[in-house]
A and B are shown apart, each in its own frame.
Chain A
Amino acid sequence: MWNIGRMEWRLLMRQYSSYSFVVLWVVILSVLFLIARNDADFAGYTNVTGTIANILLYLLPLFMLISGSFAIAGEMENGQWRLLCTYPLSQTMYVAGKWLGQWLGQTTLFTLSFGVSVALSSFAGISLPVKWVIALYNFSLFLIALFLMFGLAVGAFTSTRWQALTVSVGVWFLFIMIWPTFLIAVLNIVPYPLIVPLLQAATLLNPAEVLRVAFVVELGGSAIFGQAYDHLIHLWQKRFGLILIVYAIGYLCVLWFMATWKLTRRKQR
């Protein structure tokens, strides 16, 4: 596992595309911080904060899905995975190593960009609230971790990079772009008493949605979700970090198990 992880990480650090990632994040984050400047006092959750979170939600999951799925699908395509199958290496450790390496690498890239952007905006005289910056950073790290694993699972279920790309974009489109539309459309045909439990269950299935809610709650904007969630969110706030981490680990484990299961079956064939 450690070898796979180290290999993945080194690969990511040495790729030229990684530097383009850094440039992309720096540009996007700096622009977002510039937008935030126009908001007189944005320590809490505001329109601008919502927009910034949304832009990160558009970008981070998509890129992480693609990187994650390519990490496995690429090795499928060029035969490296078949070669690795001849080694005494379990698929569980293979996926874990891939995730660890990718997560470390992507986090390093993102942290560098985030640091540079914060420094740039501070030089430009934009005073960002520290709590807000930390909340945004945490939100991004959770997004990276969860969607990388999702990408790996996608990679395990596909055999070429082209397929991986298609499925990644599909997942992204479902989870990010048309999620409310999809849910509202589906829930309109179920009996009324089922709407609420189904909606809540579906929300738990979508890490982007859970993380977005967590981000809003962390910035003290929980009231915007209305009375229906008042009780739930109040319960959540009691052990906010713990519940979020347990959720993330649980979700990661499910995806990890799925990817491993699929790869083990493929190996047997």
Chain B
Amino acid sequence: MRRYADHWLLVLLLLLVFPLPARAEETVQARIDEAPEYGVVRLASGVYDEAIVLSKPLALEGIGEVTIRSCRKSPVIAIYGRHVVLKNIRVVQCGDAPDMPAIYVTGHDHTIDGVRVLTNQQGVKLDHAHHTTIVHCAVQGEKNGNGIDLWESTQNVIHYTAIERVKDGIYMENSHNNVLSGNHIDNARYGIHVMFSNRIVLRKNISEKNIAGAMVMGTEQTTIEQNSFVQNKRNVHSQGLLLYDAAKTIVRKNRIAANRVGIYVEQARHNELTENDVSHNFIGMQWNESSNNRVSDNSFIGNVYDAQAIRSPDNTIVRNYWDAATKLDVTGKGVSAIPYRADPFFLALTVDVPEYQLFFQSPGMIVLQKLLRSPDEQVLTDDAPLMEQPTARKDRPSRSASLLYVMSAVMIAGSISGFIIGRKRP
């Protein structure tokens, strides 16, 4: 007994001298509440299992590996007011309340920097949030909610954020003047989904392996520049870029490759599509009930079908490069004298009976297409196709030819020995 009493004495002594982890029961929330306005709360490495609310100007910063985790029916971190900074924190949302975000943001002038979100439902929700910056963040979901969801939020900036395995990568509705740049989104439903929001800028984003790269609907004056929409072909409705009821959109210098449909335009007016590289899609560009758009200086390379258009009159389609076109330059101005016709016949055929799509590129289809040539007013025609590709061509990936040599050698040797055996007299 005496021995134990000694120990207790020692412990007591130690506690008196170093009163240090005594604050361990104090929550992050308590520290935030204690901190002054515009103060900084620094969190040491560790897992903090609680939901917190930030409602005054304050910086919450993680030093080392900081995880804030919560499975409650409220956001893990809720931000209100103004000038809140969230930095270098890992946020884990493990609850299963539908559409519950990991981080809820409202108010203005917040900054979320270097935050990694792992969520069961939604990633970050911006609700009436303005002038907020999200930068160098990552969102990883379980395909239940959107990565970053903006509702009536304006003039926000989302930079260099990686989003994967979510419903929509970045979804915005009734949110104007937002800038999305340098983000990388994959394995989502729609990479970027813009609804009824005006003057949005999408620049240098990469959206790949989603059902649709970007969907822009009910918008005006969207700028879509230098993005990559690639490999969006998982679903039979997959598209690289979908413009639906969009007006005055500028689509420039994007790389739209290996999608099911590269660019799909429906009921859209006064848009401008220039200098895009549309390659290796099943259908390069598809138009439906759209008018007064301008398409020029794009490259259409290696698409199974370059372009299809139905009920889309009065579009200006000139000076594009079509690799499938027959080209003849008679004036030396780099423009072909032979117009390129993209016949909508096939698209029109499959509208009534979608099963006829089985005949896509069937050898007999070419005959039928010649027989039933569509009237000229229904055909998407480029009156002056370019001779040379305006967008820069990347170097072809080099493949090892040795395997091919071996293959051909085996084939030749095998068949020649077949010949020799066959020709030998019995």
- What residues of chain A have their CB less than 8 Å away from a CB belonging to chain B? 9-10, 12-14, 38-42, 44-48, 50, 53-54, 57-58, 104-105, 108-109, 111-112, 114-116, 118-119, 122, 127-130, 133-134, 176-181, 183-184, 187, 195-196, 199-200, 203, 208-209, 212-213, 216, 221, 223-230
Most buried by A among B371, B415, B423: B415
B418 at the interface (CB under 8 A from A): yes
Is B279 at the interface (CB under 8 A from chain A)?
A: yes
Does B16 touch A at the CB level, under 8 Å? no
Report B-chain residues with C-beta under 8 Å of the C-beta of A39: 302
Q: B422 near A226 (CB under 8 angstroms)?
A: no
Query: Are A45 and B415 closer than 8 Å at their CB atoms?
Result: no
The 5 closest A-B CB pairs, nearest first, are: A13-B422, A115-B411, A112-B415, A227-B236, A226-B357
Q: Measured between alpha carbons, how far is A42 from B397 in the docked complex, in Å?
A: 11
**Are the CB atoms of A47 and B408 closer together than 8 Å?**
no
B226 part of interface (Cβ distance < 8 Å): no
The residue of chain B having its C-beta at the shortest distance from the C-beta of A45 within the complex is: B304
CB distance from A210 to the nearest CB of B (A): 10
Contact of A38 among B323, B404, B405, B415 (CB under 8 A): B323
Within 8 Å of chain A (Cβ to Cβ): is B348? no
Residues of the B chain whose Cβ atoms lie less than 8 Å from the Cβ of A224? 260, 282, 304, 357, 360-361
Q: List 24 A-B contacts (CB under 8 A).
A: A40-B394, A41-B397, A44-B280, A46-B303, A47-B303, A108-B419, A112-B411, A112-B419, A114-B411, A118-B408, A122-B401, A127-B401, A128-B399, A128-B404, A130-B399, A130-B407, A177-B364, A180-B359, A213-B358, A216-B361, A221-B282, A226-B357, A228-B355, A228-B357
New A-B pairs, 19, CB < 8 Å, besides A10-B422, A13-B423: A13-B422, A40-B279, A41-B280, A50-B304, A54-B366, A115-B411, A118-B404, A119-B404, A122-B401, A127-B399, A128-B404, A176-B363, A177-B367, A179-B363, A179-B364, A180-B359, A213-B358, A228-B354, A228-B358
Residues in A whose Cβ lies below 8 Å from that of B419: 13, 108, 112
Interface of chain B residues 398 through 426 with chain A (CB within 8 A): 398-399, 401, 403-405, 407-412, 414-416, 418-419, 422-423
B7 within 8 A of A: no
Closest to B233 in A: A223
Q: Does B10 contact A (CB under 8 A)?
A: no
Q: A residues within 8 A CB of B23?
A: none
Q: A14-B423, A115-B410 are in contact. Are A178 and B260 (CB under 8 A)?
A: no
Query: A14 to chain B: which residues have CB within 8 Å?
Result: 422-423
Q: Beyond A177-B363, A181-B367, A227-B237, is A195–B355 a contact (Cβ under 8 Å)? A: yes
* B357 partner, pick from A45, A46, A119, A225, beta carbons under 8 A: A225
Contact of B411 among A111, A128, A213 (CB under 8 A): A111
The residue of chain B having its C-beta at the shortest distance from the C-beta of A130 within the complex is: B403
CB distance from A191 to the nearest CB of B (A): 12
Residue of B whose beta carbon sits closest to that of A49: B304
B27 within 8 A of A: no
In the complex, what distance in Å separates the CA atom of A56 from the CA atom of B396? Answer: 26
Residue of A nearest to B365 (CB): A180
Q: Are A12 and B422 in contact (CB under 8 A)?
A: yes
Q: Are B411 and A199 in contact (CB under 8 A)?
A: no
> Contact check: which of A13, A128, A181 meets B371 at CB < 8 Å?
A181
List CB contacts (< 8 Å) of B320-373 with chain A: 323-324, 349-350, 353-368, 371
Question: Which A residues touch B323, using CB under 8 A?
Answer: 38, 47
CB-CB under 8 A from A12, the residues of chain B are 422
The chain B residue with its CB closest to the CB of A199 is B355
B362 and A209 contact, CB distance less than 8 A: yes
Residues of chain A within 8 A (CB-CB) of B371 are 181
In the complex, residue of chain A having the shortest beta-carbon distance to the beta carbon of B301? A40
Question: B258 near A: Cβ within 8 Å?
Answer: yes
| Other-chain contact of A47, B304, B349, B404, B411 (Cβ < 8 Å) | B304
Which residue of chain A is the closest to B236 with respect to CB atoms?
A: A227
Q: Would A118 and B411 count as touching, CB distance under 8 A?
A: yes
B393 within 8 Å of A (CB atoms): yes
A130 / chain B contacts, CB cutoff of 8 Å: 399, 403-404, 407
Question: For the complex, what is the distance from the CA of A41 to the CA of B304, rounded to whole Å?
Answer: 13
B210 at interface by CB-CB < 8 Å: no
B422 and A180 form a contact (CB under 8 A): no
B238 within 8 A of A: yes
Give Cα A212 to B360, complex, Å: 10
Instruction: Please measure, in the bound complex, the distance between the C-alpha atom of A226 and the C-alpha atom of B233, giving whole angstroms.
Output: 11
Task: Kindly report which residue of chain B lies nearest to residue A113, judged by CB atoms.
Answer: B415
Residues of chain A with a CB closer than 8 A to B363's CB:
54, 57-58, 176-177, 179, 208, 212
Chain B residues with CB under 8 A of A9? 422
Chain A residues whose CB sits within 8 angstroms of the CB of B233 once the complex forms: 223
Q: Which residues of chain A are near B236, meaning CB under 8 Å? A: 223, 226-227, 230
